Structure 1
Amino acid sequence: MTSQYECLRPDHLYRDIFDVDAPIDTAVGRQVWPRRPGVFIRNPPAPPSGEGAEHPTPGAIERELVVGQFGLVPPWVKSASDAKLRSTKLVNARSETASTSNNFRGAWLGAQRCIVPMMAFQVDDLRSGKAVPTRVARVDGKPMGVAGLWECWTGAQGGVIASFCLLTVNANSHALMHRYGQPGSEKRMLAILNEGSYGAWLNAAHPEKAREFMRAYPAEGLTANPIEKKPSAA
């Protein structure tokens, strides 16, 4: 499971790579982990029937960047406190079962797809018998756009929580990512999108069409390095 990643730096990469402006919310830090604020990119939701102008065609939709909690909050959650408890376990969604999972089905079938921009993500290397935090990034140093799902939960008292999760795919035969995760368990990796497919992923008209994007990113395009611990203060 990937539960921590790095946001984009410098800020101009949001516009250069993803055609959105950088976040201005100061709560979004360099590192994102469960229940912390992060950002995701989506097509603006269609207005309710009869409200506003006719929804534009997919090619005319301007993407928007949204600040939300990392860790999905399903719409059926009853309280904000319950949302906090559940969201820490809902940072990753298995793409193979997203359409049937009680937690992710609504977002998957409702085409609530998003792109989560990041410079790198963290996994644990457990081959030595202890967890070695490892940074995975693109070999060329460019940002990654990871496929995700988003939700907007509204509580009985009117509280609203925008949230998102990262989609994952099987990595048992992946030349790089098969090294990580619990020994003896299925290996998983984030569904990293090709740069040229960002618009197609967001605009996929049917859930089954969206499944075509759920594939492992080429191992030769990624690099993994142990994260050096900073020396403790004297």
Structure 2
Amino acid sequence: MCGRAEDLFTPKAVAALTKLFGPFGWRALDRTEIRPTDQLRVVRPGAEGYDAPLARWGLIPERMTEDEAKKYAMFNARIETLERSRAFAQPFRSRRAVIPISCFFEWPVRQNGVKTKVRIARPDGLPLLAAGLWNCTEDGTASCTVITRPAPADLVGVHDRAPALLLTRDLEAWLRGAPAQAQRAAASSWQPGLLTVLPA
């Protein structure tokens, strides 16, 4: 599950994002805790390279208003059920995106039953590139969701789900590949041992 994130990008992360996607004001927001319904930067294929608009975190499906969407938790979408989901199937076929974040947070339950907030990030200061979907309503409201997958082995003790993080080699498959290719990339790109889990 991914319900809290951060976009405090290091200079190294800004350089990497600029090289990958372009100069899209990566330090414009600098938030320590992003929650569902807040704005996320959404990188998607554009006419010349990429676009990177801000979008509401929590997908608003077609034929649904923002008020109606508030009744549902659509800030995450399970990779296993994308193709048969009424809310996510069409965006998965034609509106895939990458959502850069600096970290995400979880609250694992410790032995004493107390939940402790942890920060999950790359130790090298590079950004996390989460697979996502976007949509735009008739009134022009942009929205997005973060894809989740079963947690890699090193995060199972934190939560049984994790964002579907992408290595740069798999960006093209996720953004422009056929649905089956994109699903494989999101489900398997990220490998154990690349993240640190530290008290937040």
Normalised to the residue count of structure 2, the TM-score between the two structures is 0.88
User: Is structure 2 residue 95 aligned with structure 1 residue 112?
Assistant: yes
- Change in Cα spacing, 1:68 to 1:123, as seen in structure 2 (3 Å) is same
| Alignment partner, residue 219 of structure 1 | 192
| Alignment partner, residue 70 of structure 2 | 84
* Residue 61 of structure 2, aligned match among 74, 96, 103: 74
Give CA deviations for 1:18-67 in whole Å, capped at 9, x if unaligned.
Answer: 322234896x45132100011110013xxxxxxxxxxx7xxxx4111011
Give the whole-Å Cα distance in 1 for the aligned partners of 2:92 and 2:3.
20
The runs of at least 4 aligned residues of structure 1 exceeding 4 Å deviation read none
- Change in Cα spacing, 1:7 to 1:175, as seen in structure 2 (3 Å) is same
* Counterpart residue identity of residue 193, structure 1: L
* Residue 177 of structure 1, aligned match among 130, 155, 161: 155
| Alignment partner, residue 16 of structure 1 | 18
For the residue of structure 2 that corresponds to 1:81, the secondary structure is helix
| Alignment partner, residue 141 of structure 2 | 161
Return the structure number with greater helix share: 2
Give the whole-Å Cα distance in 1 for the aligned partners of 2:168 and 2:189.
14
* Counterpart residue identity of residue 136, structure 1: I
* Residue 39 of structure 1, aligned match among 26, 35, 41: 41
Tell me by how many angstroms 1:211 deviates.
1.4
| Alignment partner, residue 3 of structure 1 | 3
- Change in Cα spacing, 1:216 to 1:197, as seen in structure 2 (3 Å) is closer
- Change in Cα spacing, 1:90 to 1:19, as seen in structure 2 (3 Å) is same
Larger RCO, structure (CA 8 Å, separation 6 or more): 2
Q: Give unpaired runs (5+ residues) of structure 1.
A: 45-55, 182-186, 228-234
Give CA deviations for 1:158-181 in whole Å, capped at 9, x if unaligned.
Answer: x3210111111112xx33211123
Normalised to the residue count of structure 1, the TM-score between the two structures is 0.76
Give the whole-Å Cα distance in 2 for the aligned partners of 1:197 and 1:208.
13
Larger radius of gyration: 1
Assess if the C-alpha contact under 8 Å between 1:21 and 1:65 holds in 2.
no
Question: RMSD value over aligned CA atoms?
Answer: 2.1
* Counterpart residue identity of residue 82, structure 1: E
Assess if the C-alpha contact under 8 Å between 1:148 and 1:166 holds in 2.
yes
